[in-house]
Chains A and B, each alone.
Chain A
């Protein structure tokens, strides 16, 4: 047998399977510590979190929706879903990337400071990206932008030379297309 081959379970990571990025939607009971439980699973088992959003979505039922963008090999992603599903306060888990063509949106607030030509250019680009101006001073704007991750990234990149000061982003939230809703 080839001696350079990976050996035993401890070398699973060395497999060269392609890394995919998936968006998971998780319906949980909004009980204390539930978020810690979910992210503890990710850190404890060495899974990645690229983005995370969470909020209570049904107040009477105390149900929250967590959206996690994670990455791993196809096998790891299946394992992540199974590990999440067996947690006691988890109602259901959907891999929106597997279901396909989900709507994914992110909101960003972007502060840009500048004078003259830069200021005009920032406003022009904001208009092109349909970013809203939510705060104005003589030498600054705060833009509110909603869209796919790539659009947000692109806008931020364009703002950099125009006096970008700071950015806050919500992370991705996502929902499937069509009439079906996630099981609670």
Chain B
């Protein structure tokens, strides 16, 4: 070996190895990961990091009012940009308050890195002030987590955290950093060549399986595409490939709540959302199809209804990057593990290579059947001249915002389902909602995060009166950073979905689902320094919505809607896709007897 070259190499290494404090390493690693915004809340155990934030300008910190708000804001930020959301909170209560958002991100596969402060290493395990077992508490609600005990591991772990959070099936990663590690001096390493020893997600689908899938697709008589949030996670390229694949085959397509926007809702081949509150045509097509092509969705119980009656006559293809999603609840015939975008590209190539053609005659018949289901017009509702129907409010909101650069978030409940049914999405990353965990209070902070990422866009949280009260404090953040998102509350004074289930399952005994002391949302907005608007007459709605859009700062819109409207169509628990309750003309008796004994046991 050439001694001179060896020494030079070592010198070069020494130059590369930059020494800095743990807190500096955190900021440097975030910069090198391309992070521009972090959402957080300071406290004793993260003060060294906050001190570094103060002394730099590359990364903007958004100060929230509650750590849960930080996590949902990071989720909205991540979901609307495709980048990793970053959260910074302190030890103890800071970390425990972040747990809801971490779990939400895990369930909906949102890339997030959450840095938590921890008490100094020598105090860990001593029941120190603001100590909690953060890695223990967050172990089941993160994709992975780390406790950093040595400052020299910090840079590597941070880069690894971003790698784990954003690749494969994305998810939240917690990095717990004790305060003494933040003060200690150590070596910084750059993010290049970070390769994980064990974690190597597979993106390419098995070629044989893809061939078999394409053959099954080409011979289908009654095919349907069933797509999900995985297509959004795979990036905008995947949505383009999906459009190409769907148009090339001419097959109908439906999507889960999480996948809305991957395929344009204005297209003829679009059947609308499927599942518990999905459209009649989507659910009937799923039930009666002979080939189901599941792309980046996971057969959630809100999709399948009763599993033993789920699409009984079909052969199923399932593309998922997570092998544990395959055959978890529904047995499939052709499983393909891989990135849904990559696999769709493989499918398109294979389809073209074999010059495959859909069975035109069978497809024509299938579409005729679907048109018949469509003609049921399952989303129709009884219009009202005196009170605003919630469906009408979402429809008008859609009509008045559709030509703008708009992002929609929601809370959880009836309003969420009405938004999914009546707001029509043409592009991915425009729709942010809490699907898996169903977190009330997700939408307002998520809108905040979306607005940070897209300062010029119109961002609207379609909210319910109950959900929004879980996170109203973030209006203060909105005003502080002049984030002009709009909170559009469908106010019916009820926890509407809870009440709907009480009507369906519990003899209309409305136990604690009515809010007897509703705040005045207009005054509340004004208290925060935002604008409040109220509307209760259908005739005034358009003008009021326009006023909301034209108002420059954040707005709370109190849309007073019909109190007792319910969300239909609905597959009652324990029923199959072809046993839907349709909305418009349903009687109270039908509602009361819709769910059998077994169904009452379900959630």
Contact = CB atoms under 8 A, between A and B. Distances in A.
Interface of A: 1, 3, 5-12, 29, 32-33, 36-37, 40, 44, 75, 78-79, 82-83, 85-91
Contacts of A89: 144, 198
Interface size bracket, B side: 35 or more
Given A9-B304, A10-B601, A79-B328, A90 B198 contact: yes
A90 B164 CA distance: 13
Nearest to B196: A88
B198 A1 contact: no
A11 B301 CA distance: 11
A12 B331 CA distance: 13
Contacts of B117: none
Given A7-B599, A91-B198, 9 more contacts: A1-B309, A3-B596, A8-B602, A10-B601, A37-B139, A40-B140, A82-B324, A85-B324, A90-B198
A8 B326 contact: no
A33 B304 contact: no
B577 to A, nearest CB: 12
Contact of A6 (B197, B308, B573): B308
Contacts of B147: 32-33
A75 B169 CA distance: 22
Contacts of A91: 197-198
A5 B596 CA distance: 12
B196 A36 contact: no
A5 B573 CA distance: 14
Contacts of B198: 29, 88-91
A10 B301 contact: yes
B135 interface: yes
Nearest to A15: B308
Given A32-B147, A90-B198, A7 B602 contact: yes
Chain B contact surface mostly: loop
A36 B139 contact: yes
Interface centre among B140, B169, B326 (most CB of A within 10 A): B140
Contacts of A5: 306, 308
Given A33-B135, A79-B327, A88-B164, A8 B307 contact: yes
A86 to B, nearest CB: 5
Contacts of B211: none
Contacts of B6: none
18 contacts: A5-B308, A7-B308, A7-B573, A7-B574, A7-B575, A7-B602, A8-B304, A8-B305, A8-B602, A9-B307, A10-B601, A29-B197, A32-B147, A33-B147, A37-B139, A40-B140, A82-B324, A88-B198
B118 to A, nearest CB: 13
5 shortest interchain CB distances as A-B pairs: A7-B574, A82-B324, A9-B301, A88-B144, A7-B306
Contacts of A3: 596, 598
A9 B327 contact: no
A78 to B, nearest CB: 7
Contacts of A7: 306, 308, 573-575, 598-599, 602
Contact of B139 (A8, A33, A78): A33
A3 B309 CA distance: 12
Interface centre among A8, A9, A37 (most CB of B within 10 A): A8
Contacts of A12: 307, 329
A83 B306 CA distance: 24
A11 B329 CA distance: 11
Contacts of B143: 88
B322 interface: yes
